[in-house]
Structure 1
Amino acid sequence: MTDQAVDTGGARLSVQAREDGFLGRTRELKGLCADIERAGLDTLSGRKAPRARVLLIAGRPGSGRSALAEELVRQVAHRYPDGVLRARLSEPGGTPVPVERVARDLLTALELPTPPGAAEDELAEALREALAGRRALLLLDDAVDAAQVDALLPDSPESLVVAVSGGPLTGISDVRPCTLGGLDTKSALELLSRHTGSVRITVDPRAAEGLVEECQAQPAALMMAGGWLAARPKAAVADLAKHLHAEGDESGTPLARVFRLAYGSLPAPAARILRLLSLAPAGLVDPHTASALAGCSVSSARTTLDDFVALGLLHALDAPLPQYEVPGCLQPLLKALAESQDRPAELQLARARMLERTVRLLQSCRAITETDSPQAREKLLGMPRSLRFPSPRAAAEWLGVRRPALLASARLAVADGELDTLARRLMSQLVRTMVAHIGTQAAAADLYGLHGLVLDVAERRGLAREQAAALLNLGDLDARTGRTAEALVRFRTALDAGRRANDPYATGRAMESVGGAHLELGDYDRAADWFGRALAQRLARDERADAARLYGRIATAHTYAGRYGEALRGWRAAVAGHRKEGDVAAQARALSELARVQEYAGRPEECLRTCQEAVEWARQAEDQRLQAALHLRTADILEHLGDPAAARLHRATAERMLGEELQEVVTGEEPPEQGPNACEIRSTSAED
C-alpha cells in the first residue's frame, strides 16, 4: 500500500513539501517516538491491547501542530509497511466532517469498495475490518472531538494513529498527548531568517528575539512577520517588534496582531481578494476561484495568490495544477473581515460568480469528452480561451485535483439556500461531468451524495419533477448495492412526486422500478402487476419499444413464479413488439428467453424451433455470445430428444465461437442483457 492522502475536509500538503522546511520540535518529536515504544495500560495489566495506539498532538491553530504530525509520520513511516493514510476531520470553518465521509474516503484510498449510501456504522466497521491485522499509520488532522477519532480507530494494536486537535480527546483510553507551545528561540529565528535573510537577523539579534517574543514563537505568526519584512527590505526588525508591542495583548492573539498588520499593508484590490478567499469551498483556491470571487482576470488572480504565499497568507499545495489552501488558523479572521467590510449582497454576488464560473468549467470539462458531437465542439469554441481545456486528459486531471472543492462547493451552495438555481445547475453539470470522465459505477458514492443534495433543494423549493428524478436516481443506487427495501420506498415516493408533476416519464420509470424492486424481493405477483401498470401507460402513449421491453419483464416475473403459460404469452408479445420496431438484437434476445421458458415448460420441440429462429436473428445482430449460448441450449435439447451427434455439432460450433469464454457460458453465466434486471434503468437521468 502506498502513502496516500484523503481529501475529506480539504486538501493536504504533501509530506515532501513539509519535510524540507521543518524546524525545531526536537524534544516533542523525541517524546512522541518514545511514546510509540512505551507499554500501554493494557500491556502493563497483562492484557493484549485491543486497538491501535493513539498519539495526540494538541495545540492552538497556527502552532505548527499539523507540521509536527507530518514530520513524525515521515520519521516513523518505515515501521508501518502497510502504508500511511491521512484524513482531515473538520471543515475550514471548524464544522466536523461526517465520519461516514471520512471512512468512505479512507476505504477508497485502500482501494476497497464503498457502497454508495451505506450508513456511518457500516462504513466505519468496514474500515476497521480492512485495517485489522495491518501495520498501518493513520494521521487524523483537525479532530473536533474524541467520537470522530474513536469511530475510525483500527482494531489492530500493530497500527498507529496520530491525531491532531485543539485540546484533549477525553474518552479514548491510553491516549499519549503532546501539547505544543511556541518554537524554541533558535528555530524561531531560523524561520524568520528564511524570509528576511540571515543578515537582518544577525545585525540586530535582540530585536529579532523581541519579535519572536511578540509572536510567542508561533510558526504561523512568524511566517507572516517574515513575509512582511521580506516585502520591505528597508524595514528594520526592531520597528516591526515595536509596532506589535504597541498594540498590546488586549488586541488579540499574536497571530491576529501580525495578520492585521499584514492585511493592512496590502493594496485595496489584494486585500479584497484575501477577504473573499474565506468563501472558497473547503478552503481550496485556484486562480479561477480567486478570479471569479474578485471579478478580475485569471492571470492577475494567480499573481496575487503567489504573492499571498510569499507573505505566509496562503499555502501552495503540491498538485499538478496551481492549487492553494487557506490556512485553517486564518479562516475565522478572514471570515470576520469579509462580514465587517463587505455588504451581504456583495458577498452573495461573489458566491454567485464563483458558482457560475464553476458551472462553466464543468461544462467545458464535459464537452471536451464529446469529440463526436458537432454541437459540443461548437459550444466549446464559443467559450473564452481561459475556460477551455487543451485535451480530455487535462480536463480529467483538473476534475481529479478539484474534486474535493467541487463537492464542497455543491454542499455549501445547497446549505446557503439563497442560490438554489445556481446550485441546481452546478450539481447537474457535476453529475454529468463525473459520469463522462469517471463512469457511473466508479463515481457512484459521489453521485449518491449529489442526488441527495438535489433532493434537498427540490423538496425545499417544491420542485416535484426534480424530486422525482433525484429519488429515482437514489433508488437505482440503493438497488445496485442490495438495499432493495430502501430502494422500493424511494421508487414509491418518486411515483407520487411524478404524479404531482404530471411527468409521464418519471411515473412510468417509477412504476417499472417498483416492479423491479418487487421482483428482486421475490414478490412476483406484485412485480407483474407493477410492470403491467407501466405497460398500460406505455401503450396509451404509443411508446412501442418500451412496451415490448415491458412485455419481457412481465414474462420474467411469471417465469420466476412458475406460470409458464403466461410467461410464453408475454415473450411472444415482446418478440412481436421488437419485430415491429425493427430491433433485431432485442428480438433475438426475446426469442432466446422464449426458448428458455419453452424448455422449462417441457416443450422441447417448440424450444428447438425457437432456438433455430433465434440463432438466425442473433447472427443478423452480430451477437456472437448469444449465438453460442443458443447453440449450447440447442445441444441440450437435442440430447434430450435422443440425437447426441447433432448435439455434439452444436457444442463444437459454440466452442469455436467463444473459445476461452465457453466455460463461462457452460457454468451458467448469462449475457449482461439477460439478467432479471436487464431492462432496469440504471444510468443518470438527463432530467437532473
Structure 2
Amino acid sequence: MTDQVVDTGGVQVSAHASGENQFLGRTRELKELRADIERAGLDTISGRKAPRARVLLIAGRPGSGRTALAEELVRQVADRYADGVLRARLSEPDGTPVPVERAARELLGALDRPIPPGAAEDDLTAALRKALAGRRALLLLHDAAEAEQVDALLPDAPECLVVAVSGGPLTGISDVRPCTLGGLDTKSGVELLSRQAGSVRITVDPRAAEGLVEVCQGQPAALVLAGGWLAARPKAAVADLAKQLRAEGEEGTALSRVFRLVYASLSTPAARMLRLLSLAPGILVDPHTASALAGSSVDSARTTLDALAAHGLLHAVDSPLPQYEVPACLHPYLKTLTETQDRPAELQLARARMLERCVRLLQSCRAITETDTPETRQKLLGMPQALRFPNPRAAADWLNIRRPALLASARAAVADGELDTVARRLMSQLVKALVAHVGTQAAADDLYAVHGLVLDVAERRNLPREKAAALLNLGDVDARTGRTQAALVRYRAALDAGRQANDPYATGRAMESVGGAHLELGDYDRAADWFGRALAQRLARDERADAARLYGRIGAAHTFAGRYGEALRHWRAAVAGHRKNGDLAAHARALSELARVQEYAGRPEESLRTCREAVEWARRAEDPRLHAALYMRLADTLDHLGDPAAAQLHRGAARRMLGEEPEEADAQVPGPEQDAFEPENDRNACEIRSTSAED
C-alpha cells in the first residue's frame, strides 16, 4: 500500500492506493499537458535542435489543485524518464521566493552529487546542468515565484522535462504555454465531497451537494474544508452548509468564505494553535513545534494536530516521524488572524518557545552520543521524557528528517533580529549535533550556512569574538574548497576581530591561517613571516605543543622556497619541541620531515639516519599506520642510496604490518606539500565561541 495525493489543491489529503486511481477530474488538462510534451517546439519547427529541456507550466491560484495536477502528470509520465524525478520548492509558505542556490543544492543532493560548501549560485547551477547532461530526468518545481528561478535551473538536456507550478504565467521563458486551472467539474467536486464527508449524505441529497460545489466554485481546497466540516458534524445536512456559505455573501474568495466558517467552529485552543502554526519556519511542523508555539504538552499538541488534519486544515505527511504540512493556500489567512487576534508580545514569546524547544532537542540529540561520561548521563536523565532519544540511531534519524526545518528555524531567528540570544544558542547546538551525527566533512555545506548566520548576528550585535570565530570557520571551508583568496580575506578580517576582542586564541589561529593561505598561494616568504608571528605569540603564552607544530610549518614554507638551511633549523626545533612535550607520534613525523629535507639538501646519509630514528620513535608511539608509513619512507631513502634489496625488505615489512598496498601506507605520512594548508583541527573548524556555558 502506498500513499497517493488526491486532487485537493494546496490542501492535500493522503489516500491509500487500492488499485483505483485516486485522482479526480482534470481529464482535459492532463490530455493537453501530455500532448504538449510531444508537441514540436519552436526550435524543432525552425530546424534547430532544442538546446534545453521542455518546460510545462501549470498555473493557478493557491487551492486550485495545481500541485496535485502536477503530481498526477508526473505519476503518469515518470516511467519515460529513466533517471528519475527530482523535486524542489521555489517559494516559502508565505510566498517568499527561495534563493536559486538553495534549490540547486537540494537538487544536487537528490542526485547524490557533491555540493561545494559556500559555492556561488552560478557555480551551483552550472554543476546542476553538468550533472543532468545526457540524462533523461523529470524536474518538478513547485510554487515558482518568478521566471528567473525556473530559468536558472533548466537543464541543457532536451531529453529532460521540467514541470513548473506557479500562480501565473512565467514570462521570460520561451516556448511555454501555461495550463491555467479553474474549478473542478461538478461531478468531480461532488466525488471529492463524498470522499471527505462520507457518501450517505451526498447520495441522499445530490442536488444540495451540487449546490455546495457551485458555492465553493469547484475549488478543491474549499471543497476539502467543506467536507471536513461535514465529517465533524454527522447530523448536519449538506444543504445547511451551502445555505450558511451563501449567507456569507460574495466577500472574498470561495476558499476564504469556507475557511472563515471552519475556523469559527474550532475550539479556542485549536484555533490558537492553528494560527500560531503560521510562525513555524519551513513547510512541515511536528508535535514538538506545535506544543512549543502553543505552550501545551506534546501529546496534547499531537491530538490537536490530528483534529485539524481531519478538518482538512492540515495535511498529515507520510513520514517516520509525525509531521504535518500547513497548506500554503491557508497561510495568508492564518497570518492575518495572528496579526489581528494575537498581541505582538505573545507572538514573540511563541517564537522564543519554539526556538528554545529546538535548542533542547538538539542538546539531547548530541548528548545521546556522549553517554560514556557520568555528567552527560545525568544531564540526559534530567531532561523531560518527551525530549529524550532512546538511542543514537533515533537521534540521527530525527536530525536527518528535521534538518531542513532546523536550518529554516535558524534563518528565521536571525532574520527576526529580536531573538539573537536564543538564535546564537540554536546555531551552536545545531553545529554540534551535525558534527556529532553527520561529521564535519559530510555536513560542511550546512555548517557553512550556519556559520554565515552566526557572522550576521555577530556583526549586528557587535560581538567581535563570535565574529572572529565565524570568519575563521568560513575561511577554513573556503580554503578546503579551493577559494584560497576568499579564505585569506576572511582570515585577515578574523585577525582584526580577534584583536578587537583581545582573544589570543582567535588572533593566533588567524595568523597561522593567514600564513597557510599565503603558502597555498605560493607566497612562501609571507607564509613564513605569518607563521613566525603566530609562533611568537605561542611562545609568549608558553603553548609548547602549538609552538612545536608552528616550527614545522615554518620549516615547510622554507622547504618550498628551497631554503634548506632554514628549513632544517626549524624542523630540528620542531623535533625538539615534540620530544619535550612527550608527543611520540608528532616527534616521529617531524623526524620524517627532517629526513626529507636532508635528502633535498643533498645529505642522503644523514637522511637515512634520521629516517631510522623516526621509525624507532613511531614504534614507541605504538601507531602501526605511522610505523608502516615510515618504513615506506625509509625504503624510498634506501632506493636513492642504491640499496634496493634493503628497500624491498622494508616495503615488505610495511605491507605485512598493514595488509595494504605500499602506496596506501606511504600516504599516511603527509609531506609539507600535503600538510601545508590544514585547519588546526576539526573541533576548531566547527566551533562557535561565546555561547552559554550550560550548552
Relative to the length of structure 2, the TM-score reads 0.95
Q: Distance in 1 between matches of 2:540 and 2:136?
A: 63
Query: Measured at CA, do residues 154 and 16 of structure 1 come closer, stay the same or move farther in structure 2, by a change above 3 Å?
Result: farther
Give unpaired runs (5+ residues) of structure 1.
Answer: 1-9
Q: Deviations over 1:241-296 (max 9, x none)?
A: 111111111x2101000000000011111111111011011132100111000111
Q: Which amino acid aligns with 1:209?
A: E
Aligned partner of 1:3 in structure 2 is none
Does residue 1:109 correspond to 2:103, yes or no? Answer: no
Q: How much has 1:641 moved relative to structure 2?
A: 3.6
What secondary structure is seen at the aligned counterpart in 2 of 1:202?
helix
Which AA in structure 2 matches 1:684? C
Is 2:87 the partner of 1:96? no
1:235 aligned onto 2:236:
yes
- Corresponding residue for residue 649 of structure 2: 649
Corresponding position of 1:353: 353
Aligned counterparts of 1:481 and 1:679: Cα–Cα separation in 2: 13
Residue 634 of structure 1 and its aligned partner are, at CA, apart by 2.7
Question: Does the CA-based 8 Å contact 2:14-2:316 persist in structure 1?
Answer: no
Larger displacement relative to structure 2 (276-285 or 541-550): 276-285
Moved more, 588-597 or 657-666: 657-666
| Contact kept in structure 1, 2:11 and 2:313, CA below 8 Å | no
**Residue in structure 2 matched with residue 68 of structure 1 by the alignment:** 69
Where in structure 2 are the equivalents of 1:158-237 lying within 5 Å?
Answer: 158-237=159-238
Q: Deviations over 1:516-572 (max 9, x none)?
A: 111111111000000000000000000000000100000000000001111111111
| 1:52 has 2:53 as partner | yes
Distance in 1 between the 2:14 and 2:628 partners?
53
Letter in 1 for 2:65: G
CA contact under 8 A between 2:58 and 2:180: conserved in structure 1?
yes
Contact 1:672–1:678 (8 Å) recurs in 2: no
Q: Name 2:247's counterpart in structure 1.
A: 246
For each residue in 1:80-100, what CA deviation from the matched residue of structure 2 results, as whole angstroms up to 9, or x when unmatched? 001000000000110100000
Please name the residue that 1:685 is paired with: 687
Runs of 4+ aligned structure 1 residues displaced above 6 Å come to 10-19
* Counterpart-to-counterpart distance in 1, 2:412 and 2:652: 61
Q: Deviations over 1:384-443 (max 9, x none)?
A: 001001111111111111111111100000000000001000011011101111111111
Which segment is superposed worse, 432-441 or 372-381? 372-381
Residue type at the aligned position of 2:335: K
Q: Determine the structure 1 residue equivalent to 2:312.
A: 312
1:580 corresponds to which letter in structure 2?
Answer: K
Distance 1:14 1:158, change over 3 A: farther
- Looking at structure 1, the residues matched to 155 and 123 of structure 2 have their Cα atoms a distance apart, in angstroms, of 14
Residue 300 (str. 1) matches residue 300 (str. 2): yes
Between 674-683 and 27-36, the greater mean CA deviation after superposition:
674-683
- How far apart in 1 are the matches of 2:264 and 2:556? 73
Q: In the alignment, does 2:139 pair up with 1:138?
A: yes
Q: How far apart are the structure 2 equivalents of 1:402 and 1:487?
A: 31
**Cα distance in 2 for residues equivalent to 1:221 and 1:11:** 9
Deviation at 1:665, TM superposition (A): 4.8
Judging changes above 3 Å, is the alpha-carbon distance between structure 1 residues 639 and 581 closer, same or farther for their aligned structure 2 residues?
same
**SS of residue in 1 equivalent to 2:447:** helix
**1:626 touches 1:671 (CA, 8 Å); kept in 2?**
no
Three-state SS of the structure 1 residue aligned to 2:282 is: helix
User: Which one-letter code corresponds to 2:70 in the other structure?
Assistant: A
What is the Cα deviation at residue 648 of structure 1?
3.5
* 8 Å contact from structure 1 (residues 17, 318) kept in 2: no
Distance in 2, matches of 1:168 and 1:456, equals 36
Q: Work out the CA distance in 2 between the residues paired with 1:30 and 1:660.
A: 61
Q: Give, in whole Å, the separation in 2 of the partners of 1:266 and 1:399.
A: 33
Q: Is the 8 A contact 2:517 2:677 kept in 1?
A: no
Judge conservation of contact 1:413–1:419 (CA < 8 Å) in 2: yes
Instruction: String of CA shifts for 1:627-654, please: whole Å, max 9, x gaps.
Output: 3333333334334444444334333323
1:409 matched to 2:413? The reply is no
Tell me which residue corresponds to 2:455: 455
Amino acid at match of 2:571: W
- Report the 3-state secondary structure (helix = DSSP H, G, I; strand = E; otherwise coil) of the residue aligned with 2:661: helix
1:485 to 2:475 alignment: no
Q: Mean alpha-carbon deviation: is it higher for 629-638 or for 313-322?
A: 629-638
Moved more, 367-376 or 553-562: 367-376
**Equivalent residue of 2:660, what SS?**
helix
- The 3 A distance-change label for structure 1 pair 261 and 569 is same
Show the counterpart of 1:277: 277
Aligned to 2:35: 34
Report whether the alignment pairs 1:268 with 2:268: yes
Partner of 2:82: 81
CA contact (8 A) 2:544 2:581 kept: yes
Match of 1:157, SS?
coil
The verdict on how the C-alpha distance between 1:652 and 1:395 changes in structure 2, with shifts beyond 3 A counting, is closer
Query: Structure 2 matches for 1:196-595, cutoff 5 A?
Result: 196-249=197-250, 251-595=251-595
Work out whether residues 469 and 688 of structure 2, in 8 Å CA contact, stay in contact via their aligned partners in 1.
no
Equivalenced residue count is 678
Alignment partner of 2:235: what SS? Answer: coil
**8 A Cα contact 2:630 2:669, kept in partner:** no
Give distance in 2, aligned partners of 1:347 and 1:678. 45
How far off its partner does 1:626 sit?
A: 2.9
The alignment partner of 1:245 has SS state of helix
Give SS of 2:177's match.
strand
Change (3 A) 1:325 1:346: same
Q: CA-to-partner distance for each residue in 1:486-522, whole Å, 9 max, x for gaps?
A: 0000000000000000000000010000011111111
CA drift of 1:205 comes to 1.5
SS at match of 1:57: strand
Partner of 1:6: none
- Partner SS for 1:175: coil
What is aligned with 2:4?
Answer: none
Distance 1:639 1:431 in 2: 48
* CA deviation map 1:444-485 (0-9, x unaligned): 111111100000000000000000000000000100100000
In structure 2, list runs of 5 or more residues that go unmatched: 1-9
Percent identical across equivalent pairs?
80
Aligned pair in 2 of structure 1 residues 108, 604: CA closer, same or farther (>3 Å)?
Answer: same
What whole-Å deviation, never above 9, does each CA across 1:149-183 have from its counterpart, x for those lacking one?
Answer: 00000111111000000000111111131100011
1:592–1:610 contact (8 Å) kept in structure 2: yes
Q: CA deviation at 1:373?
A: 2.3
Tell me, yes or no, if the aligned pair for 1:51 and 1:155 is still in contact at 8 Å: yes
Secondary structure, in 3 states, of the residue corresponding to 1:660? Answer: coil
Structure-1-length-normalised TM-score: 0.96
Q: Identify the range of structure 1 (65-74 vs 192-201) with the bigger mean alpha-carbon deviation.
A: 192-201
The corresponding residue for 1:4 is none
Give the stretch that moved more between structures: 145-154 or 672-681.
672-681
Q: Which range moved further: 73-82 or 42-51?
A: 42-51
Q: 1:199 to 1:544 in 2, by over 3 A?
A: same
